[in-house]
Structure 1
Amino acid sequence: MEITSTLFTAKAIYVGIIFAITLGVAAYSTYFERIIAAFMQDRVGPDRAGPFGILQPLADAVKMFMKEDFIPANSNKWLFIAGPCLSMLTALMTSAVVPFGDQLDLGDGIILDLQGIDVNIGILWVFGIVSLGVYGVLIGGWASNNKYSLIGAIRAASQNISYELAMGLSIIAILMLSGSLSTKSIVETQQNGHWNILYQPLGFVIFLVCAFAECNRTPFDLPECETELIGGYHTEYSSMKLGFYLFSEYINMFISGAVMATLYFGGYDYLFNDYVAQISWLGEYAYNVSALLGLVVLIVKALIFVFIFMWVRWTLPRFRYDQLMGLGWTGLIPLAMFNVVLTGASMLFTVNDGGSNWMTVGASWAGVIIMLVVTFAYSEMKYKKKKLATA
């Protein structure tokens, strides 16, 4: 009973730490996005709130709390409140199955997994919770009693449904390689540098593009584009309700980065993992130090993806709606299906003909090169045909 109580307390502390890290990263993502935007635009970023502007997230929070909490007339009050709350809740719940590290030995036979819940359907959990997130947007847009908000919410729903199909197909190839739906098992199959990015470069690119669409980030921010819909489903929101929507977007960016690191970049694996676990002068703490370093490594990998999200926002223009849907249905889904077929064929060749894993790597990258050549040739042909038609 005492061991169970200690383990429960340790798990509760771990979950609290992960939530604190997630919320802290989301809060300071707003600050670093302004820094990156200022650098891209050759101007001075936030530098008023505290030294170097590091208290800017606190100033933003105070501003949000001080704004008037406005609820539009003839709106559905309870659903109007529930929308941003649901978006925030689903954003936080996704991190439950992400393995942020290996295991910690707490002594007396108590082993703590650095993962919220280790279920054998972790990938399905991620997809299920991510799919629920769009309900927060839909509910908020409909309950606002505003046509612009409703159009933005419908755009978000159609966009998420379209890109979830391609994302799911890209992950099927990962499941074929790992043989498991468990995120922990997927990480364990990538230990010692055998990262899935080597075997699934095309799948990773598809997943990355879909992650931009799922997070409603530029160039896929059609649900909230100011030039067409004022603010989309954000239009009628203010105070902390608006803050919840914005905050959930940054949480989704961080969790998306953690999921991509887990699926394609070894998760908490790093190059000198085994060496750290065997350092003699660390004694019995060597394994725990190695596990904690893995936690730091995964967070760093996720932050790199957060930077990519921000970098793309300030360098690429927004798609038109027809371009966005066309890319999802006629571009990414066929590519994802091709990737599944290519992965199955390379695995079949490796097993039946006694090939090595490097043959799978070669086949995957050859497939990527072929698809790039075909896509470029088709684009050139289409451009020349259009040019001749307008000449």
Structure 2
Amino acid sequence: MSEFSYWILMIIGMIVTILGLILVAGYTVLFERRCLALLQDRYGPNRAGPLGLFQAISDALKLLTKEYFLPGFVDKRLYILAPLLVVVAILVSFALLPIGQGISWAANLNIGLLFLLGLSSIHAYGVFLGGWASNSKYTMLGAIRTIAQLISYELAMGIAVLGVVMLAGSFSLSTIVDNQTTPYIFLQPIGFIVFFIAGIAETHRLPFDMPEAENELNAGFNTEYGGMPFAMFFLGEYLGVILVGAMTTTLYLGGWHGPGAETYPLLGVGWFVLKTFLLVFFFVWMRASVPRTRYDQLMVFGWKYLLPIGLVNILLTAIVGAFWM
């Protein structure tokens, strides 16, 4: 294969992957709406197409055809850049995940886990820029809350992940998955809980959706957005939920490992998707069941509970590793 043909195939593959992820995010919204309807004993969207399956496409068309309005009081360059930064950072993050045996874009990167954590932080900076550039009191408060949350929970998330790195002896996501003959959730139950709670806070989902907090801040950081820029923030939120589910699956649930996965790589992809969407369902379940916390409670929980628990987990992992491994 010539170099030209190789790059053509790479570009086509990347475009297909990006379009596939956008489609999956759209149908994750439909999945959430139908699950919430079942949990709240109502119908949910069921008019657009059979069983409401065209609802995601209808919502996308509605947002695409809305008028694009650029308020005169915003910082125009940052206002336009912010939603792009959110979506691009999350889409690039998926390239680092090994979704099957030998099936990934860049999972063999020797610092893949560090790169992934860095990209997840960039997503939060995109949210902050959107709130700051909108030049509104509501959006500014949402942006401040975003950064405060990021500092609180990103630290706990990074410390939780250190336990996995100590067990696997590598920052490569492929190596971490390959070493999980026993899923790390059994060896790192405390790290799993800390990581997943921090992931919920990272995605601004209930009970940690303080940057939006509709009853306090209207729509928070995206109050001044509409049309396609708003759709990009919305897309980034749901891609972020899928990404946290996929990261948790990779780090703690054995990734693509499952019955028959080593013999049939595509079956491994199926196991990876199933585990990821079971975690996504948990996000939906939380939204239907748990009330929003107060902001001071959110910050106290991050600094006074999650962070010390994460440090204790590292200490226990080091002690166990020194004496029994």
TM-score tier (shorter): over 0.9
Deviation of 1:18 (Å): 3.2
Deviation of 1:20 (Å): 3.2
Counterpart of 2:214 in structure 1 is 226
1:5-30 Cα shifts (integer Å, max 9, x gaps): 66555554543443233212200011
Return 342-351 or 329-338, whichever deviates more. Answer: 342-351
Counterpart of 1:74 in structure 2 is 73
Residues 125-136 of structure 1 aligned to structure 2 (within 5 Å): 125-136=115-126
Deviation of 1:120 (Å): 0.1
Deviation of 1:46 (Å): 0.4
Query: Measured at CA, do residues 300 and 13 of structure 1 come closer, stay the same or move farther in structure 2, by a change above 3 Å?
Result: farther
What CA distance in whole angstroms lies between the structure 2 residues aligned with 1:195 and 1:46?
Answer: 37
Question: 1:34 touches 1:45 (CA, 8 Å); kept in 2?
Answer: yes
TM-score, reference length from structure 2:
0.96
Question: 2:26 touches 2:235 (CA, 8 Å); kept in 1?
Answer: yes
Counterpart of 1:389 in structure 2 is none
Counterpart of 1:45 in structure 2 is 44
Counterpart of 1:322 in structure 2 is 296
Question: Cα RMSD between the aligned structures?
Answer: 1.6
- One of 165, 168, 187 as aligned partner of 1:178: 168
What CA distance in whole angstroms lies between the structure 1 residues aligned with 2:39 and 2:21?
Answer: 26
Question: 2:110 touches 2:172 (CA, 8 Å); kept in 1?
Answer: yes
Counterpart of 2:14 in structure 1 is 15
Structure with the greater alpha carbon radius of gyration: 1
Residues 58-207 of structure 1 aligned to structure 2 (within 5 Å): 58-103=57-102, 113-116=103-106, 118-191=108-181, 194-207=182-195
Return 332-341 or 5-14, whichever deviates more. Answer: 5-14
Query: Measured at CA, do residues 195 and 6 of structure 1 come closer, stay the same or move farther in structure 2, by a change above 3 Å?
Result: farther
Where does structure 1 differ by over 6 angstroms across 4 or more consecutive aligned residues? none
Query: Measured at CA, do residues 331 and 189 of structure 1 come closer, stay the same or move farther in structure 2, by a change above 3 Å?
Result: same
Question: 1:75 touches 1:145 (CA, 8 Å); kept in 2?
Answer: yes
What CA distance in whole angstroms lies between the structure 2 residues aligned with 1:303 and 1:29?
Answer: 9
Counterpart of 2:275 in structure 1 is 301
What CA distance in whole angstroms lies between the structure 2 residues aligned with 1:319 and 1:73?
Answer: 35
What CA distance in whole angstroms lies between the structure 1 residues aligned with 2:237 and 2:261?
Answer: 32
What CA distance in whole angstroms lies between the structure 1 residues aligned with 2:267 and 2:11?
Answer: 20
Return 204-213 or 21-30, whichever deviates more. Answer: 21-30
Paired AA for residue 133 in structure 1? H
Deviation of 1:71 (Å): 1.9
1:68-100 Cα shifts (integer Å, max 9, x gaps): 222222211121111111111111111111011
TM-score, reference length from structure 1:
0.80
What CA distance in whole angstroms lies between the structure 1 residues aligned with 2:125 and 2:41?
Answer: 39
Identity across matched positions, percent = 40
1:199-248 Cα shifts (integer Å, max 9, x gaps): 00110011110010000000000000111111101111100111000100
1:262 aligns with 2:262: no
1:242-284 Cα shifts (integer Å, max 9, x gaps): 100010000011111111111011111112334xx2xxxxxxx
- One of 229, 250, 265 as aligned partner of 1:291: 265
Question: 1:187 touches 1:267 (CA, 8 Å); kept in 2?
Answer: yes
- In structure 1, stretches of 5+ residues that fail to align are 104-112, 278-289, 352-391
Question: 1:190 touches 1:266 (CA, 8 Å); kept in 2?
Answer: yes
What CA distance in whole angstroms lies between the structure 1 residues aligned with 2:99 and 2:12?
Answer: 14
1:343-387 Cα shifts (integer Å, max 9, x gaps): 111111204xxxxxxxxxxxxxxxxxxxxxxxxxxxxxxxxxxxx
Question: 2:260 touches 2:268 (CA, 8 Å); kept in 1?
Answer: no
Counterpart of 2:205 in structure 1 is 217
Paired AA for residue 283 in structure 2? F
What CA distance in whole angstroms lies between the structure 2 residues aligned with 1:27 and 1:250?
Answer: 8
Paired AA for residue 91 in structure 2? L
Paired AA for residue 119 in structure 1? L
Deviation of 1:114 (Å): 2.8
User: Which structure would you say has the larger RCO, counting Cα contacts within 8 Å and 6 or more residues apart?
Assistant: 2
Question: 2:260 touches 2:267 (CA, 8 Å); kept in 1?
Answer: no
What CA distance in whole angstroms lies between the structure 2 residues aligned with 1:68 and 1:62?
Answer: 12
Counterpart of 1:247 in structure 2 is 235
Question: 1:15 touches 1:116 (CA, 8 Å); kept in 2?
Answer: no
What CA distance in whole angstroms lies between the structure 2 residues aligned with 1:10 and 1:133?
Answer: 28
What CA distance in whole angstroms lies between the structure 2 residues aligned with 1:147 and 1:50?
Answer: 41
- In structure 2, stretches of 5+ residues that fail to align are none
Query: Measured at CA, do residues 218 and 145 of structure 1 come closer, stay the same or move farther in structure 2, by a change above 3 Å?
Result: same
Paired AA for residue 157 in structure 1? I
Counterpart of 2:31 in structure 1 is 32
